[in-house]
Amino acid sequence: MKIGNDIYYVGVNDHQVDLFEGQYDVPNGMSYNSYVIMDEKIAVMDTVDANFTEEWLGNVAEVLNGVKPDYLIVQHMEPDHAANIENFMKVYPETIVVANTKTFTMMENFFRGMDLEGKKLVVANGESLTLGKHVLTFVFAPMVHWPEVMVTYDSTDKVLFSADGFGKFGALDVEEDWDCEARRYYIGIIGKYGPQVQKLLKTAATLDIQTICPLHGSVLTENLGHYLEKYDIWSSYKVESEGVVIAYSSVYGNTKKAVEVLAQKLEEKSCPKVSVFDLARDDMAEAVEDAFRYGKLVLASITYNADMFPFMKTYIDHLTERNYQNRTIGLIENGSWAPNAAKVMKAEFEKSKNITWLDTTVKIMSSLSEENMEQLDQMAEELCK
């Protein structure tokens, strides 16, 4: 695939991956993107995952068509992109590896014994490399999402090679909505680093960008304002859409019943969107994604050894770890002798910024009482205000 005049896509699709980054379900697989810029000097942008060495080297060789590459530019050391640096250098030993100091340090640790003596070009933030027609400028983007990350701007074709930024789950041979899987990817993987992404967006706003080439997911060529706006919303922790997420943990079904009653009441009141998650069974990353997408959240948990249920604890950890803020939360607890889940769930958000708590907390003793039904009514009323 050709992008612009001299840029070629040489990435691969992965449909074998079981969990991406050890935790994310990727039903439509994953793509590991890599690009070749053919100019007077030839640059290869990043490598791919260790399971795709031959396929990727084949893609690169096809584009090179017998010519030797001059540079291998390494924007990010995470192994899904960087695993083949040594393999590449074995095939093309005269290549100069272009990276920043932090990247080279990580490279030494990942590839012990790889000798890059005389084959390193250490670049500084804002430094440029001229390939011929193409001038590449390196912009450091620490913690988007590792500390060594840099993105690369090609001012000739107005392309931003954005590393993991603007990436998504899903292989490129599967058609799917960008927003949904890019949001789940962003919130899950980069969500913690909103301020760093905001900083990068400010730099990006000063550049004339016509194409974004991320390391995962589609190359973005049209309507770039849409993607930039989404990244601005996500990285500033703003509410993206009106709606209520209800996340629950239930063993015997009574807390689940309360959640169903609440969801029905909200729908009767024409709540714009109600998104319900059983935290033991549904995709945790999607439940996290939706909590950041919508403005209101209800957490419903049984009391479990004077604490909340373990899946709920994990869920709240995922939220607070990613700086969950600027939102409204309501609580439903259940217990058969000393319900305590609401108190412990609330305490988890002590350090979270700008959380509004619903006045109504629903306290269930084993099964739903008439009073609980009224409380659920009040809760629905508050959520729909």
Ligand X SMILES: Cc1cc2nc3c(=O)[nH]c(=O)nc-3n(C[C@H](O)[C@H](O)[C@H](O)COP(=O)(O)O)c2cc1C
Report 247-286 residues binding ligand X (CB under 6 A).
250-256
Q: Looking up tokens 């959520």, which residue turns up?
A: 383
Spatial separation of the C-alpha atoms in residues 94 and 91, rounded to whole Å: 9
Spatial separation of the C-alpha atoms in residues 129 and 137, rounded to whole Å: 6
Segment lying near ligand X (by CB under 6 A), choices 202-210, 236-244, 268-276, 329-337: 329-337
Spatial separation of the C-alpha atoms in residues 361 and 379, rounded to whole Å: 8
Report 213-252 residues binding ligand X (CB under 6 A).
250-252
Q: Does 368 bind ligand X (CB under 6 A)?
A: no
CB burial string 57-92: b at 16+ within 10 A, e below:
bebbeebbeeeebbbbbbbbbbebbbbbbbbbbeeb
Q: Does 369 bind ligand X (CB under 6 A)?
A: no
* 3-class secondary structure, 109: helix
Q: Which of 22, 225, 337, 350 binds ligand X (CB under 6 A)?
A: 337
Nearer to ligand X, 138 or 309 (CB): 309
Nearer to ligand X, 130 or 369 (CB): 369
Nearer to ligand X, 28 or 255 (CB): 255
Q: Which of 23, 125, 128, 336 binds ligand X (CB under 6 A)?
A: 336
Binding footprint of ligand X, residue count (CB under 6 A): 19
Q: Does 27 bind ligand X (CB under 6 A)?
A: no
Q: Does 205 bind ligand X (CB under 6 A)?
A: no
Q: Where are the beta strands (DSSP E) in 155-249?
A: 159-161, 211-213, 241-249
Report 98-117 residues binding ligand X (CB under 6 A).
none
Spatial separation of the C-alpha atoms in residues 132 and 130, rounded to whole Å: 6
Q: Which of 4, 11, 330, 339 binds ligand X (CB under 6 A)?
A: 339
- Amino acid 314 reads T
Distances in Å between the Cα of 127 and the Cα atoms of 42, 77, 149, 162, 237 are 18, 19, 15, 16, 31
Nearer to ligand X, 180 or 365 (CB): 365
Most distant CA pair in the chain: distance in Å?
78
Q: Looking up tokens 């990244």, which residue turns up?
A: 231
Nearer to ligand X, 179 or 260 (CB): 260
Nearer to ligand X, 139 or 379 (CB): 379
Residue 334 beta carbon to ligand X: minimum distance, rounded to whole angstroms: 4
Neighbours of 347 (CB within 10 A): 10
- Amino acid 86 reads E
Q: Which of 305, 351, 370, 385 binds ligand X (CB under 6 A)?
A: 305
Residue 342 beta carbon to ligand X: minimum distance, rounded to whole angstroms: 12
Residue nearest to ligand X (CB): 335
Q: How big is the chain, counted in residues?
A: 385
Nearer to ligand X, 302 or 316 (CB): 302
Nearer to ligand X, 24 or 248 (CB): 248
Q: Which of 335, 342, 348, 379 binds ligand X (CB under 6 A)?
A: 335
- Amino acid 222 reads E
Spatial separation of the C-alpha atoms in residues 90 and 94, rounded to whole Å: 9
The residue ranges that bind ligand X (CB under 6 A) are 250-256, 302-306, 334-339, 366
